[in-house]
Every structure is written in C-alpha cells, then in structure tokens.
Amino acid sequence: QPDLVERLISVDISPVSTTPVSEFSAYISAMKAVKIPDGLPRSAARQLADDQLRPVVQLPQLRQFLLTNLVEVEGRYIWRVNLEAISHHLADIMNFPVFHKPYPGPALFLGGSNSPYISSKDYPEIQRLFPKADVQYIEGAGHIVHQDKFEEFITAVLNFLTPP
C-alpha cells in the first residue's frame, strides 16, 4: 500500500533474494547457549555473556549490539528477543519482502560500505522497484550501520526525511 508511505528507508538490505548468512544462525545458537547464574549484578552478567559469545561472535561491536538484548527479569537474565522465532524464520527475516508493483515515492537504500548486503549488482532491481531510489553508503560501517557510525547514520536519515 504505497499510498500509506510518504518516504521509505531500507537499511543495509536490497530487494534481491539474500542467502542467509550462516553466521546469523550460529549467533542465535550461541545466544541460546549463554548461561548466567541468577542474581548476578548487571555488569557481571553482561561480562559473562560477552565471554560466552566471544568464540562465535568475534567482532566486539556485534557482541555489544547483541548484548543490548540481554535483560534482567526478576533476578534472572533472559534475551529480550524471541530467539526461537528468529531461528525458525531466519530465511524470511533475511529476505526483502516480495512485491512486484514499484513503490513510486522517495526511497533511500542506506548501506554500510563494509557490508555485502547492497551491491552494485542490486541496482537494477532497486531502480525497477523503487524508481526514485537513492543508494548511499556510510563509509566504514558494517551491517549494523546505526551502531557502527551513529552520527553519520542519523545525518543521512534526517537529510532524507527533510523535504526538499
């Protein structure tokens, strides 16, 4: 329903079929395997979880991002996100929604320069489905663009959202 969308931003994903990255299922498995004793202070719990994730999730910034989902509930630490649902639907999550009618409004495809998820081979499909699309990359950012380069990400989003 393109009439309900004034402007569209796609962050580090393009409208092509994406083969799920094998690391993501390994990350989810590692998160499921984290064991934290009840009653630990938050800082100790996060450090313990970080230590347990390190062998599988080697990038420190990615581990820190995942750890934002570790929350304390009644003295126990759990993951805020539904890991079971994510693991069962990873292929759906990793793919762009399928549609055939172009979106006529302004669109921004904002990728990280160090991420493989928006490449020049995707440009024809982006232009076909989003004829008013602008593709931009944030230098030095990986897939988690908003964490890697927060200020640059916010600047790009605000510049796009501000009407000309």
Q: How many CA atoms lie within 13 A of 30 on its CB side?
A: 21
**148, 108: one domain:** yes
Summarize pLDDT for 14-37 with one digit per residue, the tens: 888 665 556 888 999 999 999 999
Domain that holds residue 56: 21-91
Distance CA 114, CA 141 (A): 6
**61, 39: one domain:** yes
Q: Are 136 and 106 in contact (CB under 8 A)?
A: no
Beta-carbon count within 10 A of 151 CB: 8
**pLDDT > 90 in the chain, percent:** 70
Maximum mean pLDDT: which of 6-10, 86-90, 113-117? 6-10
Domain boundary among 91, 112, 136: 91
Residue 110, H or E segment: strand 107-112
**27, 87: one domain:** yes
**62, 106: one domain:** no
Summarize pLDDT for 113-158 with one digit per residue, the tens: 998 889 999 999 999 999 999 999 999 998 889 989 999 999 999 9
**6, 29: one domain:** no
**112, 151: one domain:** yes
Please name which of 21, 9, 2 lies closest in space to residue 94, comparing C-alpha atoms.
21
**26, 77: one domain:** yes
Domain boundary among 41, 59, 91: 91
Maximum Cα–Cα distance for the chain, whole Å? Answer: 54
**32, 86: one domain:** yes
What pLDDT is stored for residue 21 in this prediction?
55
Domain boundary among 40, 63, 91: 91
**82, 42: one domain:** yes
Q: Which amino acid is at 31?
A: M
**82, 30: one domain:** yes
CATH number of the domain bearing residue 7: 3.40.50.1820
**48, 106: one domain:** no
pLDDT at 59 over 90: no
**86, 25: one domain:** yes
Q: How many domains does the chain have?
A: 2
pTM: 0.73
